[in-house]
Amino acid sequence: MAIELHPLEQFTIEPLIPIHFGNVDASFTNSALFMVAAVVVASALMVLGSRRASLVPGRWQSLTEIAYEFIAGMIDENVGHEGQEYFPFIFTLFLFILLGNLLGMIPYGFTFTSHIIVTFAMAGVVFLGVTVIGIARHGFHFLSFFVPHGVPPVLLLLLVPIEVLSYFIRPFTLSIRLFANMMAGHTMLAIFAGFVTAMGIFGFVPLGVDVLLIFLEILVAVLQAYVFTILTCLYLRDAIHLH
Partner 1 sequence: MPQLDLATFPPQLIWLLITFFALYAVMSWVGLPRVRGILAARKGRIDGDLEKATQMKSEAEAVIAAYEKALAEARMQAQITLRETTDRLNAEAAQRQAKVAEELARETTAAEKRIAEAKTQALGSLREVAIEVTRAAAQKLTGRDIDAQHAGAAVDQAMRERG
d(CA 231, CA 223) in angstroms, rounded, equals 12
d(CA 21, CA 55) in angstroms, rounded, equals 49
Binding mask 196-225 for partner 1 (x = CB under 8 A): ------------------------------
CB of 64 vs partner 1, minimal distance in Å: 6
C-beta of 23 vs 107, nearer to partner 1: 23
Restricting to residues 83-102, which ones interact with partner 1 according to CB under 8 A?
Answer: 87-89, 91-92, 95-96
d(CA 89, CA 194) in angstroms, rounded, equals 40
d(CA 52, CA 67) in angstroms, rounded, equals 17
By CB under 8 A, tell whether 230 contacts partner 1: no
Task: Tell me whether residue 29 is exposed, middle or buried, using C-beta atoms within 10 angstroms of its C-beta: 0 to 12, 13 to 18, 19 or more.
Answer: buried
Q: Determine which helix (DSSP H) or strand (DSSP E) holds 82, and give its type and residue range.
A: none
Task: Tell me whether residue 103 is exposed, middle or buried, using C-beta atoms within 10 angstroms of its C-beta: 0 to 12, 13 to 18, 19 or more.
Answer: buried
Restricting to residues 29-88, which ones interact with partner 1 according to CB under 8 A?
Answer: 29, 31-32, 35-36, 38-39, 42-43, 46-47, 49-51, 53-55, 57, 61, 64-65, 68-69, 87-88
User: Site residues (CB under 8 A) for partner 1?
Assistant: 8-9, 11-13, 15, 19, 24-29, 31-32, 35-36, 38-39, 42-43, 46-47, 49-51, 53-55, 57, 61, 64-65, 68-69, 87-89, 91-92, 95-96, 112, 114-118, 121-122, 179, 183
